[in-house]
Amino acid sequence: MSEKILLVVMDGVGFSKTGLGDAVTLANTPTLDHLLKTRPNTRLKAHGDAVGLPSDDDMGNSEVGHNALGCGQVYSQGAKLVNESIESGKLYNSETWRALAGQCAANGTTLHFIGLLSDGNVHSNISHLLAMIAQAKAEGVKTVRVHALLDGRDVPATSALIYIDQLEAALAALNDGSFDAKIASGGGRMKITMDRYQADWNMVKRGWETHVRGEGRQFASAKDAIETYRAENPGVIDQDLPPFVIAADGAPVGRITDGDSVILFNFRGDRALELSMAFDYDDFDKFDRGAKPDVLYAGMLQYDGDLQLPKRYLVSPPEIKETLSELLVSHGMTQFAVSETQKYGHVTYFWNGNRSGKFSEELEDYLEIPSDRVSFDERPWMKSAEVTDAVIAAMRSGKYDFIRCNYPNGDMVGHTGNLDATITAMEAVDLGITRILKVADELGVTVLITADHGNADEMLEKNKKGELQVRTAHSLNPVPFIIYSEQAYEIKDGSFGLANVAPTVAAIFGLKPYDSWEESMIK
């Protein structure tokens, strides 16, 4: 165990299959190119069943990716977990569902659904929403309101009307004299509600004002709002559309008021925590909520077990045990984790199996570098230099057996749809790795380089007409795994996924892996 290991996660960097908008290849990345030609490497599956999602049509994401990287196992995740709960009826038999739906059915109050309206399977799936609305009617709920956050990030950039039309058709089929369901409000996911890591509470404030208080620009329908905003803002994509409120005769159709129930139907936690705080916390000072309505609130999942947030939830998250961090701590090994705010939770909370705290205060150190509060394509280098500085300082300290870091650039800049900026982002990551490897040579540190999913590798796609359009979603492409070491490690033949990384780290350290783990990739 004298060897020291650094794991570098290049967030959102895969191997393109189409060559369309491949910022990874288009970028000048001499170090990454050289490593792939001269060092042991393979390609890892980072989507679908390799990360616990229902099918290979499901894109991986940073949360399930870091879960798999950190625990060496594959757990049912996100959409798959919720699918199983809905199909079995377990969700509707939960104490939370009975309380929320039961309150509305008994008292004639409104059941509200807030969440990302798409089938991207990263934060949510529209099928879950439609199933719950139908079940609510069957159980005697009379009024339902939907507060629809527009995607354009995990699905095509301007596909919002597809999902609006699908929802409106489903509601029309359910509506009758005893049941009234409508869209009440909405807006782009990067404009309202879905902030993460407390980077911009104003997003959540705007969402609260829109969904809860019914304040904002009024429209007759969600379709009207979207078409109007697109006409006023040529080139705008769904995630950046301003908030809107649906009104009739000048009055919002769906304010959230005392006695109502509210379900946040997103299953992914990072962009659900802050709205959950606003609903759950009595002592809340991030913005002025006004008169907080007395409602029953629940999330699709409990988004943070340590914080018990939210207090009510519909589906229990996977109980991830026997993580790499636990194994290292059990052997008295020291660890350091660093990223900037946008991915800090991924090298800590998600890496540790959805656990906020450390396994050992004495053996683990974490460092968060605050992200800039600007659009990522304006500063595509993000905090790569500062992350690199921190990694080099940690290596030089000699204090840590295992260091892990995340460069968010490929993912966060890739999501903007700006190809030129993403090329610059990839070049910044390559520069950071170049600096790291020089110090690794000096100190004899083994460096493992991988990614959690693809994104920057496929930033254009063809629409049904065969025309190229911007792609802002993750890709289904494999990701690299590279070994840079003084030792002559060889990678086995075979098909591997992200869950094979932790066992490989253990093998390099000479540690016996947990029986639950996948196999190591080295011979």
Residue with tokens 């290849």: 25
Yes or no: say if 192 and 207 are a contact pair by the CB < 8 Å rule.
Answer: yes
Yes or no: say if 10 and 429 are a contact pair by the CB < 8 Å rule.
Answer: yes
Is residue 178 part of the annotated active site? The answer reads no
Nearest in space to 214 (alpha carbons), one of 260, 175, 268, 256: 256
Write out the DSSP string of 358-418. -S-TTTEEEEEEPPPSS-TTTSTTTTHHHHHHHHHHHHHHT--SEEEEEE-HHHHHHTTT-
Residue with tokens 């009104």: 247
Beta bridge partners of 44: 479, 496
Catalytic option among 16, 62, 185, 371: 62
Cα 275–chain centre separation? 15
**Neighbour-count burial of 68, counting CB atoms closer than 10 A to its CB (0-12 exposed, 13-18 middle, 19+ buried):** buried
State both tokens at 349: 């909370």
Q: Which residues of 73-99 are buried (b: 16+ CB within 10 A; e: fewer)?
A: bbbbbbbbbbbebbeeeebbebebbee
Yes or no: say if 363 and 329 are a contact pair by the CB < 8 Å rule.
Answer: yes
CA distance 395 to 405: 12
3-class SS of residue 232: helix
Q: Given the DSSP bridges, would you call strands 41-45 and 479-484 parallel, antiparallel or unpaired? A: antiparallel
Q: Given the DSSP bridges, would you call strands 479-484 and 5-10 parallel, antiparallel or unpaired? A: unpaired
Nearest in space to 240 (alpha carbons), one of 188, 304, 200: 188
3-class SS of residue 276: helix
Enumerate the active-site residues: 62
